[in-house]
Structures are given as structure tokens and as C-alpha cells.
Structure 1
Amino acid sequence: MNFASLPDRRAALDPDGAAVSDGRQALTNVQLLRRVQAATRHLQDLGIGPGDVVALKLTNRVEFVLLLFAAWRLGATITPVNPSMTDVEVARQLEDSGARLLVGEDSEAPAPDGIAVLAVGELREGAVEQDQVPPTDPSALALLIYTSGTTGVPKGVMLDHANIAAMADMGRRALEVGPADRCLLILPLFHVNGIVVSTLMPLLAGASVTIADRFNPETFFDVVERERPTFFSAVPTIYSMLAALPDQVRPDTSSLRFAVCGAAPASADLLTRFETRYGVPLIEGYGLSEGTCASTINPVAGPRRAGTVGLPFPGQEIRILDAEGSEVPPGVDGEVVVRGPNVMRGYLGRPDETAKVLVDGWLHTGDVGRLDADGYLTLVGRSKDMIIRGGENIYPKEIEDVLVSDPSVLEAAVIGVPDEKWGEVVVAYVQPRPGRTVDSTALIDLCARSLTGYKRPTSYVVVDAIAKNAVGKIDKVSLRASHAAASASS
């Protein structure tokens, strides 16, 4: 599938059919095509062409979708930027990706030298001559999705057009999505799920997309009743908030065929409580940005198994390997590895790190799981130290690097601790340099300048020495255990 020409195909098949909308505007298929053509000409006039990278630092809005298609029509690549990131984090992503243009909200500050800035409110809308969409090379880079890593430095996940086409088609088939469907997008468009599974997949299937405003549990079901979506995707934190609404909240959810739960582990109890209360089947899945979002999903029509993350998507393979790299039988724990046309090309500019996770065509996830006799995957662990807060992946090394930049800090160890609302929150343990005193207020200010809000520790614990294991490495297993014991006794 050439996604650059998808607006043309939709406009030809159903000119007046609904395509994409947000709280400000609603576009039919032919209107979508005309707006994409105008945006394409605008980018072209700004000098964007094949191989260039366009950064989108935008909230969820129709223009994000327009710019996706516009960039692809020119052979360019999109890198989404989280609007809540600090200037330091944004500059790092722009430099690493080699972005030539940053499209931001109308109040966007100037970009680093050499990068042009376009305010989204200035994006052209007028009619232009019909453009010719060149065939897209399936191996051309479509998306650069930045994800944190164990090194603490975010890496650019390279997804080509073949990757996104495969994932969108897999999702369409697995979730049985067709022209009658309407997806409600509530996850951020800077995530690969928001782009591929919640936007491109339904548009490929002939369905429409409604982009919701920022999630608010008190108004969410008002949106559902007004827009009448047939499905949406969210993280466990969102379902937990909705399940905790007052008993008198009894919305009309009859339009919803199902909802997808992913990005973090969800308890079987949460799935059951949500489904029982609202009458909406909750379909749990699993995946990574490196796999273009999703690798397993519980069936929509077939048997769903609570506590598992389901079966492989059509066209993907899952294996479980032991420490020596040999495949283990059903019921035995090991590392989850994935193979399929959805697996990334690699990490931008990081061949060594790419070689560690892509081995003979298999993506080594670092997650621990087991398959049952029917092929359903159960996750029993995850990448060693990763913290998942409200569906956001956080790697402690990035935070620890910020903390030790304070001259009073000798060492830092960051762990995730259980939290009823977010699943996990970040706690930092810091050891002072000899003769120095750690100022927690200074650390709070330092993290506020350097880290996105969800990555910032909720508390700082100053200790004389941070626990080490037998080989002298920080022992986070014992640190988490001692923190849990201290919390239980307080």
C-alpha cells in the first residue's frame, strides 16, 4: 500500500464520506485530499523533498494527519515530537534526526540554527493544481519514532513504508475493521499507536477517524455518546480512571464494538471490571515501537484470555528463547522475540545497538514471557529496569544521568514503585559526594529543566550509600525490595 496516495483513493471511492475530524473541523474524503495537496505544495515551497525529515511538534489535531500524507507525497520522513518535552530534549531529537523543518503550534519558539519553523496556523488551505503522487519506495523511511533506551539516550526507530503498510493491514485484519467503523483517537499522535493503529489503519480500511481533545475521564463518555465511535485504543491508566467513575455514571456505549488496551500490563481484574460495567469488550495486546506498535492481540471474535496479551497478529511470529538463544516449549518462561514485515529497519545512526536487538531477522524485545499450547502470550516481566507510568516507557538511565550532573550527587539510582493511578511512578535514590549535602529542591529544579514531566521523580531519597551487588553494580532488585518494605511499615 502506498499511503501517500491513500487520500486520492478514498476521494475517488467515496468523495463525500467522512475521513477525519477533530474539535475544530471535519473533513470529507475529497476535502482531506484537497487539504493534503495544499499542504504538500506548502512543504515543497519550503524546500522539502525526498529524504528530508519534517518534525511535528503538535497536539492531536487534523493538521498532523495532513502533514503526514503531505510529507510522504514528497518522499520525506516524519518524526513526531512530544509537545511536552523540554527545549533540551527537543533540540536533541531535531539534531539526531537531521530535521530540516519543525512544524509547531502557533506559539512555537525558534528552532535550533539551520532548522526552519512553520506555525501550524499558517499551513495553507487554498486550492492548488492536482499533484501527481510518485510511487513510494517501500524501503523509504516513513517515520522516525524516538524511544528511550537503556543507555539513557532516546533512539530513532526507523520505520519504512513497508513497515507501516504491513502493520496497518495486520491491524485491519486482526480487528476486523471496515468502512462502517469509526475510530476515536485519544492516544497522542506522537506515539506510533496514534499514527499507525489509530489513524492509518482505519483510514486504510475505509473507516473514519475522530480526534478527541485531551483525555478527561469526566467528559470522555460525553464524547463517545456524541461521536458514536465503534472502537478506540487506550492505556490501562485510562481504563482504571474510567472504571473508578461514580456509580451513577451510566453512559450509552452501544456504538462501541470493542476497545484496545496496551502499552503497559493490565490486570485481569481491571479488564473484567471495565467490561462488566460498560458492556464493552476490552481487547488486550502487546507491542513495541520497534515492531511498528503491535505484535499480539486477543481476538475480537475468538476466545479472549484475560491475563494474556493474545495471539500474534497475522503475518507475525513469536518465539520464546532461553538465555542461550534456544527456543523453549510452551509454558516455559524466556525472552520474547518477534519476526515479521512490521519489524523496524533499525535505530538511526546506531548500528551497534541495532545489531544487539535485530538478530537474524528477529527482534529481541528484552521482555520475558511464555506461550501456552494455543499460542497465547503471557508477559511475566519486562526490560530489566524500564518503568511504565500511565503507558509511557521510562528508562532510569536517562534520569540518573541528569541527577549525577548535580555537583553534590555521587551516584543515583532510579526505580519504579507501584501507584494506584499511574501503575508506576518514578522514585530517585541519591548518594551525596563526600563532604557535600544534597539539596532536594535543586534536584527538582534540575529535573524540571531537563526532563519531560512524566519522567520526573515524585520523590528523592538521600542515602549514605546505594546498594550494590556482588560485582559492584547498583542492585535495583534489593533497592525496590527495601523501598517496598519501608513503604509498608510507614
Structure 2
Amino acid sequence: MHFALLPAHRAAAAPSAPAVADDDRTLDNAAFHQVIEAAATTLAELGVRRGDVVAVLLPNTADLVVTLFAAWRLGAAVTPINPVLTTDEIRYQATDASSVVLVTDNARTDDLGTSVLLTADLYAGTEGAPAVDPHDEDRALLIYTSGTTGRPKGVRLDHANLTAQCLALVDVLGLTADDHSLLILPLFHANGIVAGTLSPLLAGGRTTVAGRFKAATFFDRVEQVRPTYFSAVPTIYQMLVDLPADVRPDTSSIRYGICGAAPASVELLAKVEQRYGFPLVEGYGLSECTCVATVNPYDGVRKAGTVGPAIPGVTVQVLGPDGAVLPAGEAGDVVISGPNVMRGYLNRPEDTTETLVDGRLRTGDIGFLDEDGYLTLVDRAKDLIIRGGENIYPKEIESVIYQLPQVAEAAVVGRPDPKFGEVPVLFVALTDGAVLDRDAILTHAAAKLAAYKLPAEITTLPSLPKNAVGKLDKPTLRKFEAPTSA
């Protein structure tokens, strides 16, 4: 079913059944449909039409979910923006997406590149905006993902992508009207939107949108709302297993937890299941394939150390340097094909051509398939850093650091971290005679980058190592143990 039609269908079928809740309110199906209609009317009165883009800058709340469906009711797309981004980063995304309006909960005086609608006024529409005829090819989401060229790029997903992805997840996760998702991942990520919200709603179930995650209070929320599943990154699961031994929550409602966005150790998966009594199903995907490509079955053979087989309708292959499909057990480039693969990057034809080849998505990850089709990842895109589930590309940080005139060379690599899995560390070489300390570099970076992208360590060297062709030698830097930091 097209998601523009889903709220009305749910309201007609079971008006008093629960739909979406957050920290402040609970909406049954009838109320959910009603507030979506009101929000769509408001957006229409502001000029939102089919084909337009609505930006949304909100924390995890029901208002964000309502805005998604309200825009889709009008045939518009949504680009969700990470609330912790700087003004410069927010403005870039809003303008790159050609957003006609930005929905937020905070009155701001800075220029965000488009007109602003406060959530306090989101439901003020009065005339009633008729829903447009839904089209599968209508754009649904523009999810921005960091790119190796420095600036994030918009992943174009249409409603056919969303429907195919969610139907596959309903199938592989066994979702029904009895399922209840506890959403703790951010709603500016595809995972939070697709796996945590849209899929259970499509199955007839419900979603509770939690606010900011806190390990100490997480299981209080579990015992309060009784979810059947939730999705999280390895960092969150590590925080949960690190809770004091006297924390013994009632987790009997949880059928499974989903683990993704970054590699999880076999030990971590076992610790969660042994301590809390529910299994973790590890999966793999990226925004460019809407959300998920593979997942270990919750009710079948789960192979620890793998990210499972391809979900229904999706094909995962491993290619050699010549583009030929490799046999089981041989590592190569992981490519994905299926109806969940994106339509391309917004306004980036060269990037699109490089990433989508013969209808297949080149993930940039290295892995191998076993005889049963289970995928094991052995490496990932060369420079990608995954900090607590957040993707960070070094080039974006390096571009900011190079704005400092004292910097001659800059390189960012990932370093293992016990809490976040990996953190960015920066190496710089200064121009002759220049003086630049760590605090000055961090102050400059903090004005341009979100906090999670800031380097955890900064090391100044006389010059940075190079390889045989003169390029910065990042493998050497990854092994470097800095004796001092600037």
C-alpha cells in the first residue's frame, strides 16, 4: 500500500487502535489520520505541492512522523535533518534539496535557507487539503549521507522503494498487527524511519517514539510500553550490557532486537542474549538501498559474525576486480540489486553513474558469501568511520581543517574506541613557521561541523607520510601511536 493512503486505511479499519506515541502523547489511528490531514492543510496553504521537498528539523517526536505522512499526502518529499548539525550544515541540506519549507520546533534567527514552519503552527490549517492521487514514482525521501567529496549528498528514494523495502521487512521480521516498535534510533536516518516506524505501521502495528536514549532508563521504558522489538547500533547494546549487575528488567515482551549500522562483535551479540533473554538479529544495509539488504532470520539459523542472507526480493552478489561474480568464500566488492535500490543521488549524475552500474548498487564494502548465502563483511569503504552508528567521512572534516591558513596537510582516520567502536582522529602538518594549537583547531571545526564529527585526537607532525605516488598514506597513520597531541 502507498504510504500516502495508509493513515486513512488504518483509521477506517480500526479507528481506536494505537498508531504512534511519543514522550508526550499517544495517537490512535483516528487521531493520527486527523492530525496528518491538519498538517497537510497547513503545508498546502504554505504552497507545498506535488514534487516539492519539505525539510524537517526535529528531535524524535510524533510531529516528525506526522510531517512525513502530511507531505506524502500532498505528493511532496521529505528531507529529515539531523538536529545537531550546525547552521551551515542545515542550510546546505535545506538548499541543496530545494526545500520549500522547513518544519522545526525552535524559533531561530539564523538563515536556514528556506521559510520556517514551527510545530506550534503545524496544525493550524483550516481549509482542508485534498490528497493527491499517489504515484509510486513520486519522491518520498531525500536522505543525506556523507560523501567522499566532502559535502553530503541526497539519496533519492521514491515510494516504490519504500513500499518494497517495508514489505520485505514485514516478511523477514514476521511483523503483524500485534507488533510494537520502540524507536530509539534517530528519525533523520533511514533505519529509524523505515525499520522503526513505517514497517510496523504497514503491518498494522504501532510505534512508540522515544526521546533521547539513556541506558539507565531504557528498560524502564521497555517495562512501561511493552514493545515487541527495537533496533539499535552496537554502541547502544554495549551500554546496555555495561549496566550494573543488579539491573534485571522484565524483557518478556521483546521478541528480538535488531543490530545494524556498524559491525558488532560475536561476543557482544552473545552477551545481550545471555543477559536479557532476547536474541539480536544483525543486518546490513545503507541509505542507498533504502535501509536493509540482508538480515539474520529471527526464527531461523542466525550465524554470528555474518549479517545474514539477502531479504526477499533483493540480490546480493560479490564481484571480483573484473566484475565477475565470485564463488562462495571469496571476498570482493559487495553489490546489491532489487526494488529497494535508490534512484540516484540528487543533482549528482557522476556520483550516481559511479555508484549504480548496470542496475546494481556498488556499496564500496568488501565481503564474501558462504554456501548458504550469508554475507560476511571483511572491510568497508576505504575511509568511512562509523562512530556509534553515525557515518563520518574524513574528507568532510579535512575540507574544514584546510580552511585554516596555517595547515599545510590534514588527514583524518578512524581509531578503535571501546564505547563508540571508532572515532575520528586528525593529523596535521603546519606551514613553515606557523603556530596552531589543538584548541584553535577544535574551535574552528566546531563552528563548521556537528559535534560527533569532531576529531577525538589531534596530532601535529612535521609532515604526513606519503605513498609511492605521493598520496597521503592513511594505512600508516592508522597504525601511528601519537606520542603527543598538539
TM-score, scaled to structure 2: 0.98
Instruction: Assess if the C-alpha contact under 8 Å between 1:106 and 1:121 holds in 2.
Output: no
Identity rate, percent? 52
Paired residue for 2:216? Answer: 218
User: What does the per-residue CA deviation read over 1:207-253, in whole Å, with 9 as the maximum and x for residues that have no partner?
Assistant: 00001110000000000000000000000000000011111100000
Paired residue for 1:356? Answer: 354
Instruction: Assess if the C-alpha contact under 8 Å between 1:2 and 1:135 holds in 2.
Output: no
User: What does the per-residue CA deviation read over 1:240-278, in whole Å, with 9 as the maximum and x for residues that have no partner?
Assistant: 000111111000000000000000000000000011000
User: What does the per-residue CA deviation read over 1:440-481, in whole Å, with 9 as the maximum and x for residues that have no partner?
Assistant: 211010111000011000111000010110011111111111
Structure 1 consecutive aligned stretches of length 4 or more whose deviation exceeds 2 Å: 106-113, 125-129, 131-135
The question of 1:75 aligning with 2:75 is answered yes
Give, in whole Å, the separation in 2 of the partners of 1:229 and 1:93. Answer: 34
Q: What is the CA-CA distance between 1:136 and the residue it aligns to?
A: 1.5
Match of 2:462 among 457, 464, 469: 464
Give, in whole Å, the separation in 1 of the partners of 2:127 and 2:373. Answer: 51
Give, in whole Å, the separation in 2 of the partners of 1:410 and 1:134. Answer: 55
Give, in whole Å, the separation in 2 of the partners of 1:380 and 1:240. Answer: 21
Paired residue for 1:51? Answer: 51
The question of 1:196 aligning with 2:176 is answered no
Matching of residues 205-354 of structure 1 within 5 Å:
205-354=203-352
Q: What is the CA-CA distance between 1:371 and the residue it aligns to?
A: 0.2
Give, in whole Å, the separation in 1 of the partners of 2:7 and 2:230. Answer: 22
Paired residue for 1:124? Answer: 123
Give, in whole Å, the separation in 1 of the partners of 2:454 and 2:368. Answer: 33
Matching of residues 136-151 of structure 1 within 5 Å:
136-151=134-149
Amino acid paired to 1:52:
D
User: What does the per-residue CA deviation read over 1:90-142, in whole Å, with 9 as the maximum and x for residues that have no partner?
Assistant: 111111100110111133344445x210111222168865x543321111111
Instruction: Assess if the C-alpha contact under 8 Å between 2:45 and 2:125 holds in 1.
Output: no
Paired residue for 2:29? Answer: 29
Instruction: Assess if the C-alpha contact under 8 Å between 1:193 and 1:293 holds in 2.
Output: yes
Aligned residues: 484
Instruction: Assess if the C-alpha contact under 8 Å between 1:8 and 1:33 holds in 2.
Output: yes
User: What does the per-residue CA deviation read over 1:140-190, in whole Å, with 9 as the maximum and x for residues that have no partner?
Assistant: 111000000111110000000100111111110010000001000000000
Instruction: Assess if the C-alpha contact under 8 Å between 1:36 and 1:67 holds in 2.
Output: yes
SS of the counterpart of 2:342?
A: coil
**Cα pair distance change 1:110/1:448, threshold 3 Å:** closer
Matching of residues 57-136 of structure 1 within 5 Å:
57-112=57-112, 115-124=114-123, 132-136=130-134
Matching of residues 393-408 of structure 1 within 5 Å:
393-408=391-406
Paired residue for 1:373? Answer: 371
SS of the counterpart of 1:241?
A: helix
Amino acid paired to 2:312:
P
Instruction: Assess if the C-alpha contact under 8 Å between 1:108 and 1:119 holds in 2.
Output: no
Instruction: Assess if the C-alpha contact under 8 Å between 1:21 and 1:210 holds in 2.
Output: yes
Instruction: Assess if the C-alpha contact under 8 Å between 2:368 and 2:377 holds in 1.
Output: yes
Q: What is the CA-CA distance between 1:482 and the residue it aligns to?
A: 2.1
Q: Which runs of 5+ in 2 are unaligned?
A: none
SS of the counterpart of 2:439?
A: helix
SS of the counterpart of 1:40?
A: helix
Give, in whole Å, the separation in 1 of the partners of 2:130 and 2:147. Answer: 40
Give, in whole Å, the separation in 1 of the partners of 2:331 and 2:151. Answer: 29
Matching of residues 445-456 of structure 1 within 5 Å:
445-456=443-454
Instruction: Assess if the C-alpha contact under 8 Å between 2:41 and 2:126 holds in 1.
Output: no
Give, in whole Å, the separation in 2 of the partners of 1:110 and 1:32. Answer: 32
Instruction: Assess if the C-alpha contact under 8 Å between 2:101 and 2:116 holds in 1.
Output: yes
Amino acid paired to 2:461:
V
User: What does the per-residue CA deviation read over 1:3-51, in whole Å, with 9 as the maximum and x for residues that have no partner?
Assistant: 0010000011111000000011100000101111111111011111111
SS of the counterpart of 1:445?
A: helix
User: What does the per-residue CA deviation read over 1:268-325, in whole Å, with 9 as the maximum and x for residues that have no partner?
Assistant: 0000001100001100000000000110000011100000000101000000011121
Instruction: Assess if the C-alpha contact under 8 Å between 2:56 and 2:80 holds in 1.
Output: yes
**Cα pair distance change 1:169/1:476, threshold 3 Å:** same
Instruction: Assess if the C-alpha contact under 8 Å between 1:35 and 1:125 holds in 2.
Output: no
Give, in whole Å, the separation in 2 of the partners of 1:239 and 1:285. Answer: 14
Give, in whole Å, the separation in 1 of the partners of 2:59 and 2:471. Answer: 40
The question of 1:158 aligning with 2:156 is answered yes
Give, in whole Å, the separation in 1 of the partners of 2:171 and 2:126. Answer: 36
Instruction: Assess if the C-alpha contact under 8 Å between 1:111 and 1:117 holds in 2.
Output: no
Amino acid paired to 1:389:
R
SS of the counterpart of 1:3?
A: coil
Q: What is the CA-CA distance between 1:483 and the residue it aligns to?
A: 2.9
Instruction: Assess if the C-alpha contact under 8 Å between 2:285 and 2:291 holds in 1.
Output: yes
Amino acid paired to 1:299:
P
SS of the counterpart of 1:283?
A: strand
Give, in whole Å, the separation in 1 of the partners of 2:340 and 2:70. Answer: 23
Give, in whole Å, the separation in 2 of the partners of 1:258 and 1:52. Answer: 38
Q: What is the CA-CA distance between 1:439 and the residue it aligns to?
A: 2.2
Query: Aligned-residue CA RMSD in angstroms?
Result: 1.3
Amino acid paired to 1:423:
G
